[in-house]
Amino acid sequence: MKKNLSAADPITTEVVRGLLDSAVEEVQQVLYKVSHSPLITDARDSTSALFDAQGRTIAQATAVPCHLGCLHDLGRIFAKEFNKSAKDGDIYIHNDPYNGGTHLPDLAIVSPVIIKNKLVGYVATMSHHADIGGFAPGSVNFAASDLHAEGLILSMATLIKAGKVNDALFETILANSRVPHSLKGDLGGQIAACLTGVKRYKDIIAKIGFNQVNQCVESLLDYAERVTRNEIKKIPNGDYYFEDFLDDDSLETNSKPVKICLTLKVKGSNLSFDFSGTDKQVGIAINNVPSCPNSVVYYAVRTLTGDRVPNNEGSFRPINIFLPKGSIVNSNFPAPVAVRGITLKRVEDVVCGVMAKAIPSRMTAAHSGQYTMVNFVGQDLDGKRIQGHLGGPYAGGHGARSNKDGIDVTEHGATNGSPVPIEVSESKLPILFKKSLLWTDSGGAGKWRGGLGYTAEVQWMGGECYGSFRRDRMKFKPWGIEGGHSAPLCKTTIISKKKKLSLPGKIDHPLFKGDTIAIHTTGSGGFGDPAKREPLLVLEDLLNNKISKTAVRDIYKVVIKNMKIDFKETTKLRK
């Protein structure tokens, strides 16, 4: 028998919060366990959420923060489209970037939750798929001229109606992929996850009661808003400005940098993020639609409150975002967006940078600001066609903090992914990792050192192939704050039998058996004056090969003799 409790009493509210969080985390685990592609099972490029009948986000898994914005928008779009026609057992599919999506490989699978013929909410999942068609294998290539070249566009389509599969649509989707088996398995994982979420959602309603759950949800949304506003009030009122740059606006050798700038206006408990002045959209596929910068802003503000508040959209109520139409952060249809992550990373740096102007002790120096993505398309030695992404580490360092060093070689911040293990990558592709290790001096120097990046050498062991390289931070360094130093630039080199060739960040380059790809991925910015770093930490970094002897003396101003600190000489040097 259910206990008759008053509306939204705090105990029941906290119980409902726990039940919602548990349900959505189970949905997320089903995605990881049932899907087929390493992009989901290992790299974990997927996320899930629960919506109420209005399409509001009432719970979201701890997964990919940069999906916060897109799921937030998609909830309302699905509610507007299907609220009157939804049936128990429906499954909807959507990936349209210009209608709430991100880029075409990110397929959203959504199922309504219906109890006694009444719609009570939705369960949503989003996963990045290995190939959804288009002119380039992998469906993620800089050279796409427009959205139509990037793959199959699905806008609010019904994949399953009342439990009956739309076979024609399902087969059409698979027919457009170069890896239909993987796509089918990953779609199956998303469907299974949604069905799990529907069952758990219904269980919560049955256990607590529909009206009681709704009252608790309203309390949780209000609570998230209230705590967020209290944190915003601690930020000094005023206008703050920051800008940073992407390396290239084209694939030409004379490409120009792309400026992303942001003004943060703080007034009381409200935040306004104005991207006016940001450069216009470009001809290569690095443009963003609003869901991308929105999600980065939501993530950055969400870091102010930590896990004290539930993962719902109440935290976003104090936020206003302006994105100039036709800019690289709000492109016009049908501008290409496949490699949206390159720009999203820089948007993250700019958002965190402008917030660091206001509250430096609460923010980090710049993260590495890029990820090293290499997609192989070619043949193995038996002539069999192969396609896949390079595994192993792909992200650099996490930015230094006001009281701690940055974290070495970690996918961090808004993307929060996981690397595909080297062994998995070697088992699926004809490659051999010859080395993978921390890159000495790749973390920006500071009182608190930036997290290190890495260097790796990977040998191609297959037949003819080309590698599609997606990189940035080869012209503009990850910045430090409060006197901290920048991290170095990224580098890519192809070592063949006859020569070494330095590559630009964005290129499709042929590979032949025996060629070695040498990768240097930058770390992150430092925090504070390096000459104020504790000498014992400097010695520890030297012993761990994280910094060089040159950096010890010239940058950190520490004198070490026979692997011991000479404190007297260090004091003289630092003066």
Specify whether the CB–CB gap between 143 and 192 falls below 8 A.
no
Other beta carbons within 10 angstroms of residue 113's beta carbon come to 25
- Show pLDDT as tens, one digit a residue, over the chain (575 residues): 344 444 689 999 999 999 999 999 999 999 999 999 988 998 889 999 999 999 999 999 988 777 766 788 889 999 999 999 999 999 999 999 999 999 999 999 999 999 999 999 999 999 999 999 999 888 998 899 999 999 999 999 999 999 999 999 999 999 999 999 999 999 999 999 999 999 999 999 999 999 999 999 999 999 999 999 999 999 999 999 999 999 999 888 889 999 999 999 999 999 999 999 999 999 999 999 999 999 999 999 998 998 889 999 999 999 999 999 999 999 999 999 999 999 999 999 999 999 999 999 999 999 999 988 899 999 888 888 888 889 888 899 999 999 999 999 988 778 877 888 899 899 989 999 999 999 999 999 999 999 999 999 999 999 999 999 999 999 999 999 999 999 999 999 999 988 999 999 999 999 999 999 999 999 999 999 999 999 999 999 999 999 999 999 999 999 999 999 999 999 999 98
Q: Could you tell me which of 13, 33, 43 has the C-alpha nearest to residue 372?
A: 43
CA–CA distances in Å: residue 427 to residues 131, 373, 431, 441: 20, 18, 8, 32
Helix (H, G, I), strand (E, B) or coil at 159: strand
Instruction: Give the pLDDT score at 7.
Output: 61
Task: Enter the tokens of residue 145.
Answer: 């001229």
DSSP-derived letter for residue 210 is H
Q: Give the C-alpha separation, 530 to 441, whole Å.
A: 13
Q: Which residue has the tokens 């290129």?
A: 507
Specify whether the CB–CB gap between 275 and 262 falls below 8 A.
yes
| Whether residue 334 has a cis bond before it, omega within 30° of 0 | yes
Phi, psi angles (nearest 5°) of residue 457: -125, 125
Q: What angle do CA 308, 48, 355 make, to 5 degrees?
A: 45
Instruction: Give the pLDDT score at 412.
Output: 73
Specify whether the CB–CB gap between 275 and 324 falls below 8 A.
yes
Phi, psi angles (nearest 5°) of residue 143: -80, 0
Question: Distance from CA of residue 191 to its chain's centroid?
Answer: 23
234: left (phi over 0), alpha (psi -120 to 50) or beta: alpha
HEC letters along 30-90: HHHHHCCCHHHHCCCCEEEEEEECCCCEEEECCCCHHHHHHHHHHHHHHHHHHCCCCCCCC
Q: In what order do the strands lie in the sheet with 491-495?
A: 431-438, 454-460, 516-521, 491-495, 500-502
Instruction: Give the pLDDT score at 2.
Output: 42
Task: Enter the tokens of residue 135.
Answer: 């002119």
Specify whether the CB–CB gap between 522 and 553 falls below 8 A.
no
Instruction: Give the pLDDT score at 63.
Output: 80
Residues 6+ apart with CB under 8 A from 421: 42, 391, 392
Q: Give the C-alpha separation, 465 to 202, whole Å.
A: 50
Q: Give the C-alpha separation, 466 to 462, whole Å.
A: 11
Residues 6+ apart with CB under 8 A from 270: 232, 318, 319, 320
Other beta carbons within 10 angstroms of residue 81's beta carbon come to 18
Q: Could you tell me which of 412, 431, 429, 268 has the C-alpha nearest to residue 352?
A: 412
